[in-house]
């Protein structure tokens, strides 16, 4: 077998091993791979920066264990940013797993930054997905009545930071972190009538849903999958999981591209040889 | 859209009429042309190969429960199971849904009986594996490897597991024919399977394989139905362009709004 | 009978269970006997009629206009019940699936065929997981049952599912390497689109064309924008065209099924 | 005694750790298929199918049968017993003589699916037809818009032309659009492939991170 033929028939196990290595390497060691901030991530960052004093943000959680690799770092970057800038926020989960994950995550970061539950942040707990649309229709008029209680079952009326948060005008930003087709409802029921700023953090497959609304100004910014989270982290000057993960994304994509190129070099060269002989 | 409006009622009425008209027209014995679909012609070759090698075939009817794509997959299964019975080749059908499992068993048993070899039918080869997407995939991967499958057919609704099944099939050296109405999964079948049936070739498959007049007629009717859609959209483009140039025509050319949502 | 008159709400669950069983036998027996009265050559017609009537429920509900205020017509409330009933009836079929699994693994185990320990593992995993589920359901306040369930679920079903799913990542590499060769015009087009879109989505791709301006004509050629354009324009149009064909095909399939024109496609045997 | 033996189950720290080890071994067992089929994979596969089926039985009861059926009967709606009668019809497939009874319930299910197709067709397609009414020229449209709309319409028409089955593609007027359609299709499939890679890789990265971080504590 000539070199060119060999290039066309690399054993698949070798390619698997290469893939495992190029993914593990950026996760274990710090590799400085370039990260370019896209305008949509910058838009999301600016939207968080400009939450007015006295208003709170809502972080809506739709994700579960299946998409933690993409949605968890997005959630983490967003709430870390809010903590850092003293923007108060409430987490609202529409998935039972996401409920627990987002709570654990926020508790951890709050612990790191010395933030207090009830005054700096609050978790509104889990609402079944079936209640999503009815809730979007009811909470703008009466936040405390529609939400009722928090993660622990404490009435919102007894939570310090919720004092004065009555209607949708007291909400300064809504961040939707999701693997599903949920953005259109936020636009239809919240942005449309009330113009509350929205930011969208979808998984990579769902990202095309966001381009049109982004173009139309219906969302202020977007974090596309793990890559978006990595860009956000670099705006926060941090290198958490997403930065490493995005490194691994780059290396794994480069591996695929390199393999395709190598395979084609082998293919073209051996075809040329055959034609010559 | 909760209820049909006039646009929907008329449009669907026209489409239904065209399809039914062509079905009954074909049933009266009219000869119908159907263009060649290479992937479907490959099915017989794949069955023959398994028979020659004396190794089993595998048929995956997709991951969904009972649905229109699954019904079409079962119609294709009927054809392949008949061929399997004719050549006395084993066909293994792993399913991901209990109801689909029972119908698949029926279809296969019927096909063997129709070929006059009911005793060759082995009920253990029609299996319910799991209704969990990836447990199902892990089971099919195991079967593909252990049974040394010679031909692998994948027809029906497939999702993220499509590449797992097709790539494993390729690794064990099976000839693979696949078709799915799930557009996102078609590229993965194209890269890993030998023959891929694209788009609504999937719904043309049973007509193509059986040459049954009802199905051929329906296929011709579908072509007319699609032609109607093409015509509506072309007219829409022309109208929209006219309206963009001469907005004053809006009073006369207001039919576009019949299709507007809400 | 029993569940309707004899047993009152609030009775112990096991009494209900006995009642449901008795009623099942009574009603089931009655239906079974009634069906025996159907002459053999009318059976096919009966099945076709049932199919047609079932199809009428959803189609009539759709085509009859709703009340302008509520948006509902006379069937809307009923179809919600039908949807529930379909789910329930469908759920009872799970027994057939479980039967298939037990038959296959049970036979291998009983005959001690090669690899029977795998079949044993199947049964152990099945019962442990099922019992853990019911245990945590029956003792909602017990940390013990909840921990056990979480441990087993996270450690088996969730973890193995995620592992199997992530294998797609490996297979994408081997499939892309093998299939993306410039053998023909078609293959080259596919390769080119995949190449650009892949690069346009990762940080390193954005880095390659970072020198181009962020706005204006030059920005159109930034990789992430080219990739976005491909996905949003030609790809979306092609997608829509394929989908129209598929939808029409599905509509025709539905029509043939509804009117029992398709019979011969699934079942050959006479009834 | 038994309680003491199993008391560790109340400690979520211990069960969590065991869960992680189970998950890690399971993940490695599944990955072993990448090398070749082997007894470890086989064991994991069988256990996976078993656990998924056990979980499925429990979930079917907890999410469907209990709320939609059992609770209704015990709440006084006795006629829900009939659902069990209908469900029982499936089981006649194992009888030669009464097989046809199972066809009744199959027929009912097929009818329901077929009947809902009209709503499904309209829900998906009317909006898409409307969205395809794109002007190809007009004042106020930039060159980019014009080009995009022309590309859209050409792609839409040629791809649809490819899917006509019963017309012979003999004349060039028929053949050319459909072969352009096929090329466009391949281009689109390439784009779909490329756009899926990132999310699949993200999953794999998540899994690797689980092994390296949650299990081995290598990646910080």
Q: Is A249 an 8 Å CB contact of chain C?
A: yes
pLDDT digit string (tens) for C128-161? Answer: 999 999 999 899 888 899 899 989 999 999 999 9
CA distance C88 to D112: 14
Q: What is the dihedral of CA A231, A234, A238, A240, to 10 degrees?
A: 30
- Residue pair C155/D18 in contact (Cβ under 8 Å)? The answer is yes
Residues B57 and B99 in one domain: yes
pLDDT at position C215 is 74
Query: pLDDT tens across B86-99, in order?
Result: 999 999 999 999 99
Q: pLDDT digit string (tens) for B148-164?
A: 999 999 999 999 999 99
Q: Which residues is A176 bridged to in the sheet?
A: A60, A200
* Distance, C-alpha B45 to centroid of its chain: 19
Q: Which of B135, B182, B199, B221 to mutate to test the interface with D (most CBs of D within 10 A)?
A: B135
For residue B239, what are the domain limits? Answer: 18-32+213-259
Q: How many CB atoms lie within 10 A of CB C233?
A: 16
**Cross-chain residue pair A252–D204, CB shorter than 8 Å:** yes
Query: How large is the ipTM?
Result: 0.93
Q: Which tens digits make up the pLDDT trace of C180-235?
A: 999 999 999 999 999 999 998 888 888 888 888 877 788 888 888 898 899 888 99
pLDDT at D188 over 80: yes
Predicted confidence (pLDDT) per residue in A193-249, tens digit: 899 999 999 998 888 778 878 878 899 999 999 999 999 999 999 989 999 999 999
- The answer to whether residues C98 and D23 touch, using CB atoms and an 8 Å cutoff, is no
Six-digit token string for C224: 């992430």
Distance from CA of B2 to the nearest CA of D (A): 8
Q: Is C247 helix (H, G, I), strand (E, B) or coil?
A: helix
- Are residues B190 and B227 both part of a single domain? no
Instruction: Determine the residue among A14, A19, A22, A204 to mutate to test chain D binding: the one whose Cβ has the most chain D Cβ atoms within 10 Å.
Output: A204
SS3 D1: coil
What confidence score (pLDDT) does residue C180 get? Answer: 95
Nearest CB to C207; choose among A19, A34, A211: A34
Rounded to the nearest integer, the mean pLDDT of chain A is 92
Residue B38, pLDDT > 90, answer: no
Tell me which chain D residues have a C-beta less than 8 angstroms from the C-beta of B237: 132-136, 153
CA A47 to chain centre: 15
Q: Which CATH number among 1.10.10, 3.40.50, 3.10.180, 1.10.8 corresponds to the domain A39-238?
A: 3.40.50
In tens, the pLDDT along B193-210 reads 999 999 999 999 999 998
Q: Sorting pLDDT into bands at 50, 70 and 90, what band is C270?
A: low
Statement to judge: residues B165 and B90 lie in one domain:
yes
* Contact criterion met (CB below 8 Å) for A245 and A226: yes
Which residue in A19, A20, A226 is closest to D202 by CB distance?
Answer: A226
Q: Which residue of D has its CA nearest to B8?
A: D122
Task: Tell me the mean pLDDT in the region D90-102.
Answer: 90
Q: What three-state secondary structure class fits C70? A: coil
B237 and B123 assigned to the same domain = no
Looking at the structure, tell me whether residues B180 and B244 fall in a common domain.
no
- The closest of C122, C124, C80, C127 to C105, measured between CA atoms, is C122
From the CB of residue A167, how many other CB atoms can be counted at a distance below 10 Å?
Answer: 13
- Does position C265 have pLDDT exceeding 60, yes or no? no
Q: Is D214 on the interface with A (CB under 8 A)?
A: no
Which pair of structure tokens corresponds to residue B153?
Answer: 């057919």
* Angle, vertex CA A151, rays to CA A146 and CA A157, nearest 5: 50
Pair B256, B42: CB distance under 8 Å? no
Name the residue among A129, A120, A65, A119 with its Cα closest to residue A92.
Answer: A129
Q: Give D 78-97 residues with CB within 8 A of chain B.
A: 90, 93
Q: Which chains touch C (3 or more CB pairs under 8 A)?
A: A, B, D
Catalogue the long-range contacts made by C218-225 (C-beta closer than 8 Å, 24 or more residues apart).
Answer: C223/C196, C223/C199, C224/A38, C224/C200, C225/C200
Report domain extents, chain A. Answer: 3-29+250-276, 39-238
Which H or E run includes B197?
strand B195-197
DSSP 8-state code for residue A90:
E
pLDDT at C269 over 70: no
Residue A68 has its nearest CB partner, among D197, D206, D212, at D206
Q: Please give the average per-residue pLDDT across D105-118, as a whole number.
A: 94
State how far the Cα of B242 lies from the Cα of B244, in Å rounded to an integer. Answer: 5
d(CA B69, CA B185): 14
Interchain contact D99–C (C-beta under 8 A): yes
Closest residue in D to A240 (Cα) is D220
Partner-chain residue, chosen from D48, D132, D186, that has the shortest CB–CB distance to B135: D48
Tally of domains in chain B: 2
The rounded mean pLDDT for chain C is 90
DSSP H helix total and E strand total for chain A? 12, 6
pLDDT band at C264 (very low <50, low <70, confident <90, very high): low
For residues B63 and B147, state if they share a domain. yes
In contact, D198 and C202? CB cutoff 8 Å? yes
**Which of C101, C165, C248 has the CB atom closest to B200's CB atom?**
C248
Q: Is the pLDDT of residue B262 over 80?
A: no
Chain B residues whose CB is inside 8 A of the D102 CB are: 102
Q: What is the pLDDT, as a whole number, of residue A217?
A: 87
């Amino acid at each position: 077998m000539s070199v060119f033929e060999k290039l066309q028939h690399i054993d698949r196990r070798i390619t698997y091993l290469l893939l495992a290595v190029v993914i593990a390497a950026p996760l274990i060691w710090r590799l400085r791979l370039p990260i370019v901030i896209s305008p949509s991530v910058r838009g999301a960052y600016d939207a968080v920066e400009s939450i007015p004093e006295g208003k709170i943000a809502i972080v809506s959680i739709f994700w579960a264990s299946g998409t933690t690799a993409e949605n968890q770092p997005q959630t983490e970057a967003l709430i870390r940013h809010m903590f850092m800038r003293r923007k108060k926020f409430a987490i609202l989960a529409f998935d039972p797993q996401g409920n627990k994950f987002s709570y654990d995550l926020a508790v951890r970061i709050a612990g790191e930054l010395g933030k207090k539950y009830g005054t700096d942040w609050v978790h509104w707990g889990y609402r079944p997905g079936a209640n999503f649309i009815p809730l979007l229709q009811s909470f703008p008029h009466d936040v405390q009545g529609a939400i009722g209680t928090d993660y622990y079952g404490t009435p919102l009326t007894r939570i310090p930071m919720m004092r004065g948060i009555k209607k949708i005008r007291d909400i300064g930003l809504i961040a939707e972190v999701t693997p599903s087709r949920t953005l259109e409802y936020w636009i239809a029921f919240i942005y449309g009538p009330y113009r509350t700023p929205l930011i969208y953090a979808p998984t990579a497959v769902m990202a095309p849903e966001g381009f049109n609304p982004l173009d139309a100004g219906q969302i202020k910014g977007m974090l596309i999958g793990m890559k978006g989270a990595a860009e956000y982290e670099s705006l926060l000057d941090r290198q958490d999981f997403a930065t490493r993960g995005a490194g691994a994304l780059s290396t794994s994509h480069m591996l695929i591209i390199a393999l395709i190129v190598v395979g084609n070099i082998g293919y073209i060269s051996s075809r040329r040889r055959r034609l010559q002989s | 859209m909760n209820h049909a409006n006039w646009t929907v009622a008329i449009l669907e009425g026209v489409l239904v009429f065209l399809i039914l008209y062509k079905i009954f027209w074909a049933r009266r014995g009219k000869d119908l042309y159907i263009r060649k679909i290479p992937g479907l012609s490959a099915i017989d070759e794949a069955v023959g190969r398994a028979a020659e090698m004396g190794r089993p075939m595998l048929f995956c009817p997709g991951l969904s429960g009972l649905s229109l794509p699954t019904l079409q997959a079962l119609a294709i299964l009927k054809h392949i199971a008949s061929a399997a019975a004719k050549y006395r080749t084993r066909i293994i059908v792993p399913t991901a849904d209990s109801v689909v499992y029972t119908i698949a068993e029926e279809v296969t048993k019927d096909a063997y009986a129709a070929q006059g070899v009911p005793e060759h039918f082995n009920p253990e080869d029609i299996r319910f594996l799991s209704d969990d997407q990836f447990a199902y995939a892990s089971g099919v991967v195991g079967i593909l490897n252990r049974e040394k499958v010679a031909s692998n057919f994948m027809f029906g609704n497939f999702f993220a597991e499509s590449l797992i099944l097709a790539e494993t099939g390729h690794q064990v050296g099976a000839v693979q024919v696949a078709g799915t109405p799930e557009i996102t999964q078609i590229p993965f079948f194209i890269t890993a399977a030998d023959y891929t049936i694209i788009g609504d070739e999937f719904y043309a498959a049973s007509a193509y394989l059986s040459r049954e007049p009802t199905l051929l007629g329906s296929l011709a009717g579908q072509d007319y139905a699609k032609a109607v859609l093409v015509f509506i959209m072309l007219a829409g483009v022309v109208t929209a362009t006219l309206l963009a140039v001469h907005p004053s025509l809006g009073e006369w050319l207001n039919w576009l709004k019949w299709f507007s949502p809400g | 009978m029993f569940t309707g008159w004899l047993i009152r709400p609030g009775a112990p669950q096991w009494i209900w269970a006995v009642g449901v069983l008795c009623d099942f036998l009574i009603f089931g027996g009655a239906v079974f006997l009634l069906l025996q009265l159907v002459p053999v050559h009318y059976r096919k017609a009966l099945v076709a009629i049932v199919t047609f009537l079932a199809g009428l429920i959803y189609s009539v509900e759709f085509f009859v206009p709703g009340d302008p205020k509520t948006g509902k017509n006379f069937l809307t409330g009923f179809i919600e019940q039908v949807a529930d009933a379909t789910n329930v009836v469908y759920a009872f079929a799970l027994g057939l699936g479980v039967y298939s699994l037990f038959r296959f693994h049970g036979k291998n185990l009983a005959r001690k065929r090669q690899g029977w320990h795998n079949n044993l593992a199947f049964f152990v995993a099945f019962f442990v997981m099922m019992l853990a589920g019911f245990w945590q359901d029956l003792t909602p306040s017990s940390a013990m049952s909840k921990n056990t369930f979480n441990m087993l679920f996270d450690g088996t079903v969730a973890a193995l599912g995620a592992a199997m799913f992530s294998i797609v990542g490996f297979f994408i590499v081997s499939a892309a390497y093998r299939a993306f060769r410039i053998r023909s015009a078609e293959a080259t087009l596919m390769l080119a689109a995949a190449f650009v879109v892949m690069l346009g989505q990762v940080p390193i791709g954005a880095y390659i064309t970072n020198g181009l301006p962020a706005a204006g004509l030059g920005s159109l050629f930034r990789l992430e924008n080219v990739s976005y354009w491909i996905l949003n324009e030609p790809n979306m149009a092609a997608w829509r065209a394929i989908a129209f064909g598929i939808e029409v095909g599905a509509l025709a399939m539905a029509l043939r099924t509804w009117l029992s024109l398709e019979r011969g496609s699934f079942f050959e045997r006479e009834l | 005694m038994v309680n003491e033996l199993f008391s560790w189950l109340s400690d979520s720290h211990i069960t969590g750790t065991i869960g992680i080890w189970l998950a890690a071994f399971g993940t490695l067992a599944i990955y072993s298929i990448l090398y070749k089929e082997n007894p470890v994979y086989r064991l994991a596969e069988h256990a996976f199918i078993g656990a998924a089926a056990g979980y499925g039985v429990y979930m079917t009861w907890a999410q469907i049968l209990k709320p939609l059926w059992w609770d209704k009967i015990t709440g006084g709606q006795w006629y829900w017993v009939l659902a069990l009668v209908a469900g029982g019809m499936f089981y006649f497939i194992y009888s030669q003589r009464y097989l046809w009874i199972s066809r009744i319930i199959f027929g009912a299910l097929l009818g329901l699916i077929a009947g809902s197709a009209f709503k499904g067709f309209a829900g998906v397609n009317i909006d898409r037809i409307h969205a395809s009414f794109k002007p190809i020229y007009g004042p106020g449209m930039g060159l980019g818009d014009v080009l995009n709309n022309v590309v859209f319409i050409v792609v839409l028409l040629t791809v649809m032309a490819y899917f006509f089955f019963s017309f012979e593609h003999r004349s060039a007027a028929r053949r050319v659009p459909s072969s352009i359609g096929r090329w466009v299709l391949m281009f689109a499939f390439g784009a779909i492939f490329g756009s899926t890679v990132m999310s699949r890789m993200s999953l794999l990265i998540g899994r690797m991170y689980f092994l390296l971080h949650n299990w081995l504590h290598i990646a910080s």
